[in-house]
Structure 1
Amino acid sequence: MGNGRHRRTSRAVVVGGGFAGLACAFDLGRAGVEVELHEASDAVGGRVRTDRRDGFLLDRGFQVFNTAYPQVRRLLPLRALRLRPFTPGVLAHTPSGVLRLTDPTRRPREAGSLLPGRALGTRDLAALAGLTARDTLVPAALLRRGRDRTTRAALARSGLTRDAVDHVLRPFLAGVFLEPDLETSARFFHLVWRSMARGTLCLPAGGIGTAPRLLAARLPEGTVRLDSSVRSLTDSGILLQDGTERPADAVVVATDAVTAARLLPGTPVPPGRTVTTYYHAAGTSPLPEPTLVVDSTLTVLNTCVLSEVSGTYAPPGTSLVSTSVLGGDLPGGEAAVRRRAAELYAADTAGWQHVATYTVENALPAMRPPWPLSRRTRVTAGRYVCGDHRATGSVQGALASGSRAAREVLADLRDGTPAPDHPPG
């Protein structure tokens, strides 16, 4: 491993170039292991990709970047991403009207919107403040060890009324968890809430796909092999689709759960959450601020003007609007999305031009309690599996799972755990 404890440099192969695979390859390479990363597509990132089309930046599904994630701060030079922040709050369309919820510690001038009766009642404001303070100040380790229940149960336990949960928090969290019933693990919810309170939700100026590309650029030249699909794992390494065999002391499968189960039979495949995002070009911005709009009817999950977050997302003189819905195509399709957007923005959307639609299958694992926040990655001698489906459905979860795989590989190499034989060289 480059430190004199092994007769030769150990070799590892990572299958998959998403955040988990990139983090694993980075940590292994830094420890002196010779690493190859094989990615089946034409670029790294997995589900975190950005397309450029006619002057627009189109993330493959609406995503945000959280600066508070520990693994993000460890692995990525944030300044290089040229991050552009969202408003620290949301506009919630509820049965009683449009409510603005803003973090008063970051936007003191807008604290008046939180006065009782303008957004939430006194009880709900106090409960929300208490929940946020607890999750922000309590050590993360305690949150991870807390009793697991559903997010809905955790919100009720915090003292929030059913109306506040159903009309404000549920529509926002439905976009975070990609499920409408708040059945996601409360332990995960508390960690996410903590990260949002402590960090800033942003977008890189070059699109969300900038982040995995930046991490890939930190790997040694030649590590990443694009358009390199793996057919199967062998006794001595991997077999590529073109028939080439690549030997390795350790093989880490860092793909989606379905592909991982094909390459490593027996790997659990949790149910997945699907989301569809519609992109529209508008001549005039329907909301001149970088704020997320959520819909208590859940006709759509959320909508925002991405070009207000970062002007790089649209060509000059044009606004780019992103609107996401649960599952596949909304009944009525793109026209139905525009009709609901017209109501949410109180704007004429008839002239909006449809730019693209992305449906992301299994965008997140379904994290019902009790959900383990991390799982061992070692499957058999020399074989490992990592990814957000092995941790939590987030950038943090993917990076942490990849990092854990690297630690377990290094421990096995150091301790001499038997690995498949392969020809020298």
Structure 2
Amino acid sequence: MHDLIVIGAGLAGLRCAGLLSAGGLDVVVLEAADAVGGRQRTDIVDGFRLDRGFQVLNPAYPALRRSVDLDALALGSFPVGVRVRMEEGMAELRHPLRYPLSIATSLRSGLVNGRDAVALARWAAPALAQPLSRLARNDVTVREAWDSAGLRGPLRSAVLEPFLTGVLAESRGETSNAFARLLVRYFVLGRPGLPAQGIAAVPEQLAAHARAMGADIRLGASAGRMTALGEEIRVELIDGDSVRAARVVVAAGPDAVTDLTGLARPATNGLQTWWFTAVEPPTASALLTVDGRSRGRGPVVNTVVMTHTVPSYAPAGRHLIAATCLLPRGADPAEENDVRRHLSEIWGVDVSAWELIRRDDIADALPAQPAPLGAARSPRYAERLYVAGDHRDTASIQGALASGERAARAVLSDAGPSRSAASLHR
């Protein structure tokens, strides 16, 4: 019998397994897929590195800095800013402190006026000084918070709304204002980017550490049912085998969490990513691009030339372009003709010759974060049973890793004084 079974080899499960293995526990990880990572997966398709949906990694996340060797990831960093398709031409807004020479250009863009700038500062400033618990007091939707701050001009409608639509995977402004402010803090402090080998390099590093600490990670092992038997829990696998342990951490996807524990299915938002390749890029800019026009917006919420930031994502002589759309539950997904039409309008070039490599429909791309934002949920669910994942914290890589850490602390605490909590800082 093992000390612990972790169901799910996503970020939360791998972080938890690594910490507890380092703490001296006998840990086995059961992963239904053929590779670790959960939503953080990268596939090699005809020489292109395709993440499962467009993703970014923010080195400002505290839990990320605690968990992985960032230098080993060889991150390529996106410019901190956004490119906006206007009714006439393109405009760019960049981080004014990192790109001070861009301030004059931003002011001439027509996207920023004095009133909006003051309103944005009024809205965003608390995020730089206050903890999340303080930001979440009297929390409202981000739409209501912007109205209250007086943020109503083109900076909101043409920049913030389309940009955050892709980040939050929802377009109605119903996300928690506290969570939106938290994301702004991380964008201000960090330079989001991607590992040279794809987003999968993060879980692969976590898995390598867990294995080095003694964890057994079993791929293709799908958990079917759990049964409590005295002081142990038996997990039956779909293939007929079973594994027993003193404790179990469920760190799986939304459907599996419900099936295994009976918890209500976590609400999620969906995204769709289209991966195109072209010989000539539509722009020399590496900025994420959104559509700021008042008419004809959609279905693309953002698009970017990946190879300007991570050249290793494509073979020599080719470029990789990502285009992301919302994937509302119960609604029809975007069609290729509409995506190509919109991309042609955004980029201002003919995209008919672009080759479509793959389309990723990620129905559970992010847990929904409606207002008011609740506190991070306890990992303890039942006797000897724990739950981890970003749906228990915040919808982010930070939230997934932090949730895995909390689950590990809870397991060590419950396992007794012989399991020193000091091991969590290794």
What is the TM-score with the length of structure 1 in the denominator?
0.91
Whole-Å separation in 2 of the counterparts to 1:103 and 1:247 = 52
Aligned ranges 1:104-143 → 2 under 5 Å: 104-115=96-107, 118-143=110-135
2:304/2:323 contact within 8 Å kept:
yes
Preserved CA contact (<8 Å) 1:55 1:315: yes
Partners of 1:178 and 1:18 lie apart in 2 by 20
Matching residue of 1:292: 288
* Superposed CA RMSD: 2.0
Matched, 1:26 2:18: yes
Which one of 195, 200, 204 corresponds to residue 209 of structure 1?
A: 200
Structure 1 counterpart SS, 2:344: helix
Residues 65 and 201 of structure 1 are in contact (CA less than 8 Å); yes or no, is this contact kept in structure 2? yes
Offset of residue 159 of structure 1: 3.1
Post-superposition offset of 1:167:
2.0
Question: For the Cα contact (< 8 Å) 2:2–2:28, is it kept in 1?
Answer: no
Q: In structure 2, what is the Cα distance between the partners aligned to 1:301 and 1:111?
A: 25
CA distance 1:114–1:332, change in 2 (3 Å): closer
Of 399, 402, 408, the residue aligned with 2:401 is 399
Q: Determine the structure 1 residue equivalent to 2:303.
A: 303
8 Å Cα contact 1:232/1:239 also seen in 2: yes
Q: Flag as ranges the 4+ runs of structure 1 deviating above 6 A.
A: 328-332
Secondary structure of 2:188 counterpart: helix
Structure 2 residues not aligned, in runs of 5+: 419-426
Counterpart for residue 216 of structure 2: 223
Partners of 2:86 and 2:125 in 1: how far apart?
25
User: 1:82-135 CA distances to partner (integer Å, 9 max, x unpaired)?
Assistant: 000111100122457533111011112212122266321111122223444432
Q: Give the alignment of 1:26-425 within 5 angstroms.
A: 26-95=18-87, 98-115=90-107, 118-143=110-135, 145-221=136-212, 222-235=215-228, 236-265=233-262, 267-296=263-292, 297-327=297-327, 333-414=335-416
Distance in 1 (alpha carbons) for counterparts of 2:8 and 2:375: 21
| CA shift for structure 1 position 164 | 2.8
Moved more, 283-292 or 321-330: 321-330
Q: 1:96 to 1:372 in 2, by over 3 A?
A: farther
User: Is the 8 Å Cα contact of residues 71 and 396 (structure 1) preserved in structure 2?
Assistant: yes
| Preserved CA contact (<8 Å) 1:279 1:323 | yes
CA contact (8 A) 2:272 2:327 kept: yes
- Aligned partners of 1:95 and 1:167 also within 8 Å: no
Give 1:339 shift.
Answer: 1.6
Distance 1:271 1:138 in 2: 27
Task: Measure how far apart 1:175 and its partner are.
Answer: 0.5
Per-residue CA distance 1:123-148 (angstroms, 9 max, x = gap): 112222344443223344533x4321
**SS where residue 66 of structure 1 aligns?**
coil
Once the two structures are overlaid, the 10-residue window that deviates more, 31-40 or 56-65, is 31-40
After superposition, the Cα gap between the structure-2 partners of 1:392 and 1:17, relative to the gap in structure 1 and judged at 3 Å, is same
Q: Which amino acid aligns with 2:270?
A: T
Q: Give 1:294 shift.
A: 1.0
- Alpha-carbon distance in structure 2 between the residues aligned to 1:263 and 1:117: 53
CA contact (8 A) 1:275 1:327 kept: yes
Report the residue type matching 1:343 in the other structure.
E
Deviation at 1:184, TM superposition (A): 0.4
Question: Where do residues 5-24 of structure 1 align in structure 2 (5 Å cutoff)?
Answer: 11-24=3-16
TM-aligned CA deviation for residue 335 of structure 1 = 2.4
Residues 118-127 or 223-232, more deviating: 118-127
1:173 alignment partner AA: L
Counterpart residue identity of residue 184, structure 1: T
* C-alpha distance in 1 between matches for 2:89 and 2:211: 54
- Report the Cα distance in structure 2 between the residues aligned to 1:149 and 1:58, rounded to whole angstroms: 36
- Matched-pair contact (CA < 8 Å) for 2:8–2:29: yes
CA distance in 2, matches of 1:147, 1:178: 23
* Contact kept? 1:13, 1:35, Cα under 8 Å: yes
Secondary structure at the residue paired with 2:157?
A: helix
Name the structure 1 match of 2:423: none
Hey, what's the Cα distance between the residues in 2 that align with 1:110 and 1:347?
A: 25
Give the conservation status (yes or no) of the 8 Å contact 2:267–2:367.
Answer: yes
Q: Is the 8 A contact 1:132 1:197 kept in 2?
A: no
User: In the TM superposition, what whole-angstrom CA distance separates every residue of 1:262-312 from its partner, at most 9, and x where no partner exists?
Assistant: 0111x1213221111101111101111211001242321100000111110
Aligned length, in residue pairs:
406
Distance 1:330 1:348 in 2: 26
Contact 1:177–1:184 (Cα < 8 Å) also in 2: yes
Fraction of identical pairs, as percent: 38
Please give the alpha-carbon distance, in whole angstroms, between the structure 2 residues aligned to 1:234 and 1:136. 46
Whether contact under 8 Å (2:32, 2:223) holds in the other structure is yes
How far residue 165 of structure 1 moved from its aligned partner, in angstroms, is 1.9
Contact 2:270–2:327 (8 Å) recurs in 1? yes
